[in-house]
Structure 1
């Protein structure tokens, strides 16, 4: 019987394919076993590492809890003893207070802090809502024979009065027109060292008003080389800290706390320390320190 060569070629090819399939299956079976072993080793290694990380994490949480407890105790101690800590801290310092929002005025509390630290109060001025009143501005210009066209002109004029011998009488004129409230002014107001700006708000952040009043005041006081510290209370619904910080002045966001009062005293006595201090996320640290 004649056998076609194609039959041999197909048969031989089939044999080789069968052998190839057999080898491949065998290899894969062996590979799967090796792979399973490798996977088991990796999983075991990951389990061990996870346990190590868990132990490390537990230790860190325990350490953090301990540090938090110590931190809270330290703050509590400072808050409870702040009067003793700040006593004589402002001795021989003559400090002015300016509140730029008559609807959120806590300047008397700031006066108490200065007094407790045995500092002197140079003046306590509250800028009223009438500061933008054009009619009153014109009346003042006529009365004093000066040119005041804008709110910025008037705010700068207030700061200028604080370096004039007859500044008190000029400020009294401003009070008469209800442009400011002059809560207090000392006979030694000309020699003031620093100014505390009280900020914050209970309603909304008025950036336009801030630029007109606060920024103008800050720029004018900087020209006179005065140390400026802006403060607010922890319960301020609207924080002004960010806006003050942009003007490169020191801020304290918790002046109603004992530790905030310590920060205030440090900032008033050490002009070279500049930054944002307190409890807000924007604060660089809780207390002022030399960098």
Structure 2
């Protein structure tokens, strides 16, 4: 009897504690849910405030961007006006020939720019990949009869003096070079337009040899150019050979720099590591430019006469 009473008592007490535990758990769950809901609502209010602030900041930034775009457009118009005024004021009577040694990039935009600004183009010579193969000894279809030095010399003489010999004729006939003769005048300025992709570095095979031959012509103005996006910096190599250079001839500042070099200025301009300045900070006067051009032409004419006499004696 006593054992049964004690057992009943223990079960009763345990039931009481279980009931208390369940009640506490239910109460805690209800309070927790209210707490979570309250916190969630507070976070939503905070996020909403932040979104409002972010929208205000975004609107402010968009307004600033529009203002900057307007300023950029205005600066672009001012730059165009100044460049056009410079080109009209600082015209050059130089006669220019262009040798395109790059087989990866086109220089048609440069040719259009020169023509548009009434810079006299005498001749345009474009080197073809087949000619590079000849110079790299990958084929000897013509080199058996014409040493490399003779072929490069013929190209230099034609580009500068408009002298055509049998070697040059063979180069054209075999489509190793493409020529466009616009006038028969002596060119006092030669532009070497290079630059290639990383897989096609032909500087030593072509550019170096052509420049060496051109540098043998006294008082000839030789300028090295390339576009800003050229993978290989040929202007760095041109500079090492003593040439004036423009490494961003596709850009407005590069075009101004090029015109200044054609007029007789000096320097290495552009955006790459070999450049000393982005563009000239002083411009050659018209008198100085014309006097320099006159001396250059007189010297080149004398050399041309000697070449003619030498050819006549042969």
The alignment's TM-score, normalised by the length of structure 1, stands at: 0.62
Paired residue for 2:147?
149
What is the distance in 2 between the residues matched to 1:256 and 1:80? 18
1:274 aligns with 2:274: no
Cα separation, partners in 2 of 1:285 and 1:114, compared to 1, 3 Å: same
Gaps of 5+ in 1: 1-69, 142-147
Cα separation, partners in 2 of 1:281 and 1:166, compared to 1, 3 Å: closer
1:193 aligns with 2:191: no
What is the distance in 2 between the residues matched to 1:253 and 1:79? 20
Question: Does the CA-based 8 Å contact 2:160-2:187 persist in structure 1?
Answer: no
Give the deviation of 1:75 after TM superposition. 7.8
Give the deviation of 1:286 after TM superposition. 1.3
Bigger Rg over Cα: 2
Q: Which moved more, 1:108-117 or 1:164-173?
A: 164-173
Give the deviation of 1:289 after TM superposition. 5.2
Q: How many residues align?
A: 207
Question: Does the CA-based 8 Å contact 1:82-1:262 persist in structure 2?
Answer: yes
CA root-mean-square deviation: 3.0
Provide Cα deviations, 1:94-151, integer angstroms capped at 9, x if missing partner.
1000011223231x22222212221110111011112232433247x3xxxxxx223x
Question: Does the CA-based 8 Å contact 1:96-1:123 persist in structure 2?
Answer: yes
Give the deviation of 1:228 after TM superposition. 0.9
What is the distance in 2 between the residues matched to 1:80 and 1:222? 37
What is the distance in 1 between the residues matched to 2:228 and 2:209? 25
1:137 aligns with 2:137: no
Provide Cα deviations, 1:170-199, integer angstroms capped at 9, x if missing partner.
6443221011011x213324x111011111
SS at match of 2:227: coil
Gaps of 5+ in 2: 1-70, 284-314
Provide Cα deviations, 1:66-102, integer angstroms capped at 9, x if missing partner.
xxxx9x9878743564344223644422100001122
Give the deviation of 1:164 after TM superposition. 5.5
Question: Does the CA-based 8 Å contact 1:83-1:116 persist in structure 2?
Answer: no
What is the distance in 2 between the residues matched to 1:124 and 1:242? 23
What is the distance in 2 between the residues matched to 1:213 and 1:161? 16
